[in-house]
Structure 1
Amino acid sequence: MSDTVGQFIEFLRRHDDEAWAAIVASLLPDVHPVDQNALRVWFAFYPVKLFRMLAEDEARARQDCLLNGRYRLADHIHTSHRFFYGHRFWPKVQKAVLIDLRTPPRTTLENHIRQAARRTGVDPALALGITAVAYATLQQVGVEAFLTPPPPMDVPPLEPELIVAERRRPEPRTVWDMLLRSEINQTYTIRFDEHDPAAKFQAIYGQPLTTAAGQMPNAAAFKAKDPRCVAGPIPTECQTGACGTCWIGVLSGAENLSAITPFEVTRLKKIGYPYDGTEHPVIRLACKTVCEGKASIVIPPWNGVLANWDHPPIRG
């Protein structure tokens, strides 16, 4: 590793979750609406705290924090951000970021991100979010892993404005529902992978998301892909909000889900997942989140109790 590369990696690793949160908050107004929530969700899914825990003592972190699933970002460098519209620009973003390794860091990390986004040749509003993800990925996985070539991009050729419009379009209602003017028995679509037309389930108004997902016709089949998914695509265990296994990100339709309750806020904090203080946050516990309209969600590839690292259990 050259001196300049080493200096830039060291510069990146001085940024903790608080520093990244400030950068993301500053970038968000300039990110296209199609990826604004995606940016917030990704940094919740891959916090620096988790990276440092694993680097310090992975065996202890796995045991104390009850880590399950694919919690190492290095295992899915090129696909962790698949739920971004900007995912399709990943190869260009990789090249743009690597230019910064030729010289010592010369400005703030936010400025490096903005400059690299412009170097991609893509509309900066569409490149900005995925570029921030690229720098955070480089920080956690290192140069050699970051340099590996990505697989072919498999994304639908849709314009971002069409995706945003589709997310905002009201769910079609039957004539009978409109005549009754009632939400009773009204069903809504919850998507959990916008790239896959089949990756969706129907939720009745007032139904928790985990319950609705568990009633999919092929709910049992998801366990073969992910052992955490015992009933549908959302991993579940306790169904009471205590374990945090069913935490999810919300790409769109946060306002169509029930407002977060004080209990859920308490559980998110005790489990160690982020809460942004809003009535309809982008990080939720699916078993405590009730459907009130259509939404698009993202299911994290791992779960655990990060708060345990600050206060590890006493072992005999």
Structure 2
Amino acid sequence: MNNETSFEIFLNRHDEEAWSATLATLQRSIHEVDRNATQIWFAFYPLPLFRALEEAEDREKLAQQLLLLGDYELKNQIDTSHRFLYGHRFWPQVKKAVEQYADEWHRVQSAEAGVGCRVSGVGTSTLHPTPNTLHPMSSQTEVYATSLADQILEVAHAVGEQSKIDQALLVGITAVAFMTVQQAGLAAFKRAPGAIAIDRKHAKKSPEQILRERAKDDSQGFFGFLKTVDKQWTVTWDENDDGARYKLREAQDLAWGAASDQSRDWKAIDPRRVEGPIPVECRSASCGTCWVGVLGGAEKLADVGAREGKKIKEFGYIDTAEPKPLIRLACQAQSEGAVSIVIPPWNGQFGKYLRTLKEQNDTSIKITVKSGDVAKAELVQ
């Protein structure tokens, strides 16, 4: 990016590995209602894919090569990409705080040594390099030395104090805001209105209420325990829309059940949705169109089979050996209970490309380091 601010420069020093470590650190601080949602959001907007597109000589050609369909640009969804997080309710406060925090970076860069660093306008909490440290930041060097996780926690804490909101409900959405700045750029981030994309009725729901709804299973009647009963389960594909539900039978895959929902003009909403709310194309785990995130009920889906596990890694959506991960292919995930899912606005096949790119970069780094060692040896001689 051109004309990067000091905050953007700091963020851009963090690659996928650094962000993974950051999220692992933050997990224990995120409220249960958003713990899965935060992981899903970061899977929906992978940093390596963004960087590959940014660095490509021909961005459009690469997008076609990777079969990217739908809206995969985070800069187009600054206020809406995280609508499925509970923390989305506090987006206006968090967005404003992150903007002020980014501006504070410029002040720290320009300030004289000895001047304290505070998140201007979002509380009076001093920004510390590490928890329980008594010395406020007074230089850019000290700011850079503070971990990304600590800075996210600092902003979440400041917003929580000012707005009287449980900090645990703010950590996930604050991490999302930081990544959004990294991918969309601070200027675009500031231009976004900062509006909430859910109605007042759903915004009033408590975290506990949502967790109860996710855990609830459909009643199968008095004889529901019998194997002969044709059990049906509810799939919720948008927790902020009372009409975003459909039924499927025991052991049906998520995509098959979705195809029976003809309540809306799906193709008008999203051209990828040819027969229901979940985009589908092949039904055999060959295209990657039907990937979804599982907000609640991951344990009620059948284990990932060999083909799903192989293909979901090839597509680039997730790389894990977990039997019941948070990212699934809807055409393969068979339901054994009610679940709550979220549908990403895009799909593609980029896993192999990104792995090849990483291998090339790793090789280049090794060659550079080796060349440097040789040069040092010659200098000593």
- Would you call these one fold, judging by a TM-score over 0.5? yes
1:197-243 residue CA offsets vs partner (Å, 9 max, x unmatched): 10011010010111100011336x21111000011011111110011
Counterpart residue number, 2:151: 112
Q: How far apart are the structure 1 equivalents of 2:246 and 2:309?
A: 26
Q: SS of 1:202's equivalent?
A: strand
Counterpart residue number, 1:99: 100
Q: How far apart are the structure 2 equivalents of 1:75 and 1:267?
A: 28
Choose 1 or 2 for highest CA Rg: 2
Counterpart residue number, 2:238: 193
Please give the residue correspondences for 1:76-225 in structure 2 after superposition, counting only pairs within 5 Å. Answer: 76-101=77-102, 102-103=104-105, 104=140, 105-106=143-144, 107-121=146-160, 122-148=165-191, 149-155=193-199, 156=202, 157-178=204-225, 181-182=226-227, 184-218=229-263, 221-225=265-269
Query: CA 1:184–1:56 in 2, change beyond 3 Å: closer, same or farther?
Result: farther
Moved over 2 A (4+): 103-106, 151-155, 175-178, 307-312
Counterpart residue number, 1:8: 7
The answer to whether the Cα contact below 8 Å between 2:308 and 2:332 also exists between their aligned partners in 1 is yes
Counterpart residue number, 2:39: 40
Counterpart residue number, 1:307: 351
Q: 1:42: how far off?
A: 0.3
1:225-283 residue CA offsets vs partner (Å, 9 max, x unmatched): 10000110111111100111111100000001111112211111111111332221000
Counterpart residue number, 1:68: 69
Runs (5+) with no aligned partner, structure 2: 106-139, 358-381
Do structure 1's residue 240 and structure 2's residue 284 form an aligned pair? yes
Q: How far apart are the structure 1 equivalents of 2:257 and 2:198?
A: 28
Given residue 329 of structure 2, which amino acid in structure 1 is its aligned partner? L
The answer to whether the Cα contact below 8 Å between 2:44 and 2:344 also exists between their aligned partners in 1 is yes
Q: SS of 1:288's equivalent?
A: coil
Q: How far apart are the structure 2 equivalents of 1:186 and 1:19?
A: 44
Q: 1:177: how far off?
A: 2.8
Counterpart residue number, 2:361: none
Q: SS of 2:195's equivalent?
A: coil
Q: How far apart are the structure 2 equivalents of 1:183 and 1:17?
A: 48
Counterpart residue number, 1:56: 55
Please give the residue correspondences for 1:239-278 in structure 2 after superposition, counting only pairs within 5 Å. Answer: 239-278=283-322
Q: How far apart are the structure 2 equivalents of 1:222 and 1:265?
A: 28
Q: Which residue, 310, 331, 340 being the options, matches 1:296?
A: 340
Q: 1:97: how far off?
A: 1.4
Percent of aligned positions that are identical: 43
The answer to whether the Cα contact below 8 Å between 2:88 and 2:196 also exists between their aligned partners in 1 is no
The answer to whether the Cα contact below 8 Å between 1:275 and 1:283 also exists between their aligned partners in 2 is no
Q: 1:17: how far off?
A: 1.6
The answer to whether the Cα contact below 8 Å between 1:255 and 1:280 also exists between their aligned partners in 2 is yes
Query: CA 1:200–1:183 in 2, change beyond 3 Å: closer, same or farther?
Result: farther
Normalised by the length of structure 2, the TM-score is: 0.77
Name which of structure 1's ranges 16-25 and 40-49 shifts more when overlaid on structure 2. 16-25
Q: 1:308: how far off?
A: 4.7
The answer to whether the Cα contact below 8 Å between 1:252 and 1:297 also exists between their aligned partners in 2 is yes
Q: How far apart are the structure 2 equivalents of 1:71 and 1:152?
A: 20
Q: 1:176: how far off?
A: 4.1
Q: SS of 1:215's equivalent?
A: coil
Q: How far apart are the structure 1 equivalents of 2:228 and 2:69?
A: 37
Of structures 1 and 2, the one scoring higher in RCO (CA 8 A, sep 6+) is: 1
Runs (5+) with no aligned partner, structure 1: none
Normalised by the length of structure 1, the TM-score is: 0.92
Q: How far apart are the structure 2 equivalents of 1:47 and 1:159?
A: 29
Q: 1:20: how far off?
A: 1.2
Q: How many residues align?
A: 308
Aligned Cα root-mean-square deviation (Å): 1.9
